[in-house]
Amino acid sequence: MRVLVTGGAGFIGSNLVEELLDRGHEVKVLDNFSTGRRENLLSWNGDVELIEGELRSYERVSNAVRGCELVFHQGALPSVPRSVQDPITSNEVNVNGTLNVLLASRDAGVRRVVFASSSSIYGDLPGLPRVESMAVGPAAPYAVSKLAAEQYCSVANKVYGLETVALRYFNVFGRRQDPNSHYSAVIPKFITAMLNGKQPTIFGDGEQLRDFTHISNVVSANLAAADVEAAAGHVFNIGAGHPRSLNELVATLNRLLGTEIEPNYAERRAGDVRQSWADVSLAKAVMGYETTVGFEEGLGITIESYTPQPAAA
Write out pLDDT tens, residues 37-67.
999 999 998 899 999 999 999 999 999 999 9
pLDDT band at 309 (very low <50, low <70, confident <90, very high): low
Annotated catalytic residue: which of 122, 142, 152, 169? 142
Length of the chain: 313
pLDDT band at 307 (very low <50, low <70, confident <90, very high): confident
Q: Do 237 and 225 form a contact (C-beta atoms < 8 A)?
A: no
pLDDT band at 178 (very low <50, low <70, confident <90, very high): confident
The angle formed by the CA atoms of residues 27, 47 and 34, to the nearest 5 degrees, is 65
Q: Please give the C-alpha separations between residue 113 and each of 59, 80, 116, 163, 180, in angstroms, as whole numbers.
A: 18, 24, 10, 6, 31
pLDDT of residue 310: 57
* Per-residue pLDDT tens over the stretch 275-288: 999 999 999 999 99
Q: Please give the C-alpha separations between residue 167 and each of 33, 78, 200, in angstroms, as whole numbers.
A: 23, 15, 30
Least confident range of 252-256, 288-292, 309-313: 309-313
* Per-residue pLDDT tens over the stretch 206-248: 999 999 999 999 999 999 999 999 999 999 999 999 999 999 9
Neighbours of 147 (CB within 10 A): 23
Q: What is the mean pLDDT of the chain?
A: 95
Residue 122 has pLDDT above 90, yes or no: yes
Residue 311 has pLDDT above 60, yes or no: no
pLDDT of residue 255: 98
pLDDT of residue 312: 46
pLDDT of residue 182: 60
Residue 313 has pLDDT above 50, yes or no: no
pTM: 0.95
Respond yes or no: is residue 306 known to be catalytic.
no
Q: Do 5 and 29 form a contact (C-beta atoms < 8 A)?
A: yes
Query: Which overall architecture, per CATH, does domain 2-173+212-241+280-292 show?
Result: 3-Layer(aba) Sandwich (3.40)
Residue 183 has pLDDT above 70, yes or no: no
Round to the nearest angstrom and report the end-to-end CA distance of the chain.
Answer: 41
Residue 78 has pLDDT above 70, yes or no: yes
Residue 134 has pLDDT above 80, yes or no: yes
Of the chain, the percentage scoring pLDDT greater than 70 comes to 97
Q: Which residue has the higher pLDDT, 21 or 312?
A: 21
